[in-house]
Chains A and B, each alone.
Chain A
Amino acid sequence: MTAKLAPETAAGIPVEFRDVCKRYGDHVVLDELSFAVSPGERVVLIGPSGSGKTTVLRCMMGFERTDSGLIQIGDAAVLPSGRGRAQQRRARAGLRAARDHVGMVFQQFNLFPHLTVMQNLTIGPRHSRQASHAEIEQRARSLLDDVGLASKAESYPGQLSGGQQQRVAIARALAMRPAVMLFDEVTSALDPETVGEVLGLIRRIAESSTMTMLLVTHEMAFAAEVADRVIFMEQGVIVEQGPPAQVFNSPQEERTRRFLRRLDDKGA
């Protein structure tokens, strides 16, 4: 694989969570969560299942609506949907603006099965009218080339392996030139032998771009390598955060130590 990623990507922008709450009935998923991510920073969220780390990403996209607090993504503010009509309109506009800045890669790939790989990559940029069809097409080709799937442009997702599908999904997100990339457990649904190719690609993207990146992953070795900062969450709050060397090698909190010990026991 080539070291650099050819098509230029957007420069990273800051992200900030300010007192964000999210509840399902009595269950608190995010409990007045606050943290700030600087432009171009790579933050890895770790924690046991149900800790709220995936919800953090899903709230940024508006897939889950927050109950209170503010998520600021560059100039876009993601707000609770609110009651009044004006408030709802403002929340919708904020969400649209946020999605303009943010790209997301999913655990289950979520490629469009009825469209070719090429169409998967071009449908977003075409409808956002950010460039001419020819430019969009050309950029999509060079992205496919970059993720090593140039020969699959006319294939359908169902004809690809899991690892290949996830690489297409990453290319599809990049085609929108996001300033922030979200990776939600993107290797969890993959066969063990294809995990490496996807992690390798993300590593290359991290090296050759200045995008802000938030990653939820269970791959601790990968996290240690790619992260500027690791955030350990449990029950909707941040228990501990810091550079990977600190969080992984000398965690300050007992809860962090317990979590990491359990991972070691499982041989992860």
Chain B
Amino acid sequence: MSNTSYAWSVLPALLRGLKVSVEATGLSMALALIAGVPVCLLRISRLRALRVMGVAIISVIRNTPLLAQLYVYFYVLPEFHIELSPLVVGVLGLGTHFTAYIAETYRAGYESVPAGQWEAAAALNLGRVITLGRIVAPQALRPTIPVLANYLLAMFKDTSVLTAVTVTELFGATISLSNESFRFTLLYSMMGLLYLAVCYPAGRIVALLERRLGSV
């Protein structure tokens, strides 16, 4: 089979892999964006015990490798009779990993809000919850948007790690195809182009967001 016709024949399989990569990214990001909120709240709590808990969660996640964390979910959880599908393990692993970084991003945004905003809210006798929700959070989030977009991009590339827990995303699909055909150069070139086709335009959008919204 010629290179061209072989390329066409494997393209659907690679695109299916890309689709899995995109799905895993979307689900993991949703998890991280949501879980980042309580972790950030722990981290900025006025109570020392909660703050220590927040720091502990973030430190453990940031100071151990992503791949190792995935293996914990994949091999350790079943020992406690928690059996999850590979994709769920992947999303859980990636999502919790990025939760730590996103919680810290939220915190940077929170700290970027000037003290005068808190004081103005206090002068209007707004309670702490309303001050956080209506005054601080909207201002804190704006400069985090480019950073979060950057993490989304990093996460998309990191989905390649999910191969290790048997998720057939783009990288995994490439590996299994090349193990059958040994057309490494062709397949890896195609894989690279597909990653590039997603990441390059996405990166341009992130740069645009940074210019428009500033960055923490």
Residues of A within 8 A of B (CB): 61-63, 96, 99-100, 102-104, 106, 108, 110-114, 123-124, 127-128, 172-173, 176
B119, A110: Cβ atoms under 8 Å? yes
Give Cα A106 to B134, complex, Å: 20
Give Cα A9 to B204, complex, Å: 54
Chain B interface, >50% SS class: helix
Question: Which B residues are CB-close (under 8 A) to A102?
Answer: 123
Q: When A172-B124, A176-B124 are in contact, do A123 and B134 touch as well, CB less than 8 Å?
A: yes
Question: Which A residues are CB-close (under 8 A) to B139?
Answer: 112-114
B116, A110: Cβ atoms under 8 Å? yes
B130, A127: Cβ atoms under 8 Å? yes
Within 115-135 of B, Cβ neighbours of A (below 8 Å) are at 116-117, 119-127, 130, 134-135
Question: Which B residues are CB-close (under 8 A) to A63?
Answer: 119, 122
Q: Is B138 interfacial (CB 8 A cutoff)?
A: yes
A123, B126: Cβ atoms under 8 Å? yes
Give Cα A127 to B126, complex, Å: 7
The one of B114, B123, B134, B138 in contact with A104, judged by C-beta atoms closer than 8 angstroms, is B123
The residue of chain A having its C-beta at the shortest distance from the C-beta of B120 within the complex is: A110
Question: Which B residues are CB-close (under 8 A) to A108?
Answer: 116
- Cβ-closest 7 pairs across A and B: A124-B124, A110-B120, A110-B116, A104-B123, A99-B125, A114-B138, A108-B116
Question: Which A residues are CB-close (under 8 A) to B124?
Answer: 123-124, 127-128, 172, 176
Question: Which B residues are CB-close (under 8 A) to A99?
Answer: 122-123, 125
A96, B119: Cβ atoms under 8 Å? no
Q: When A112-B135, A127-B127 are in contact, do A61 and B122 touch as well, CB less than 8 Å?
A: yes
Question: Which A residues are CB-close (under 8 A) to B114?
Answer: 110
The residue of chain B having its C-beta at the shortest distance from the C-beta of A61 within the complex is: B123
The one of A62, A100, A111, A114 in contact with B120, judged by C-beta atoms closer than 8 angstroms, is A111
| Least distance between A46 CB and chain B CB atoms (Å) | 23
Give Cα A100 to B119, complex, Å: 14
The one of A106, A114, A172 in contact with B119, judged by C-beta atoms closer than 8 angstroms, is A106
Question: Which A residues are CB-close (under 8 A) to B116?
Answer: 106, 108, 110
The residue of chain B having its C-beta at the shortest distance from the C-beta of A124 within the complex is: B124
The residue of chain B having its C-beta at the shortest distance from the C-beta of A95 within the complex is: B122
The residue of chain B having its C-beta at the shortest distance from the C-beta of A114 within the complex is: B138
11 pairs from A and B in contact (CB 8 Å cutoff): A100-B125, A103-B123, A108-B116, A110-B117, A112-B135, A112-B139, A114-B138, A124-B125, A127-B124, A127-B125, A127-B126
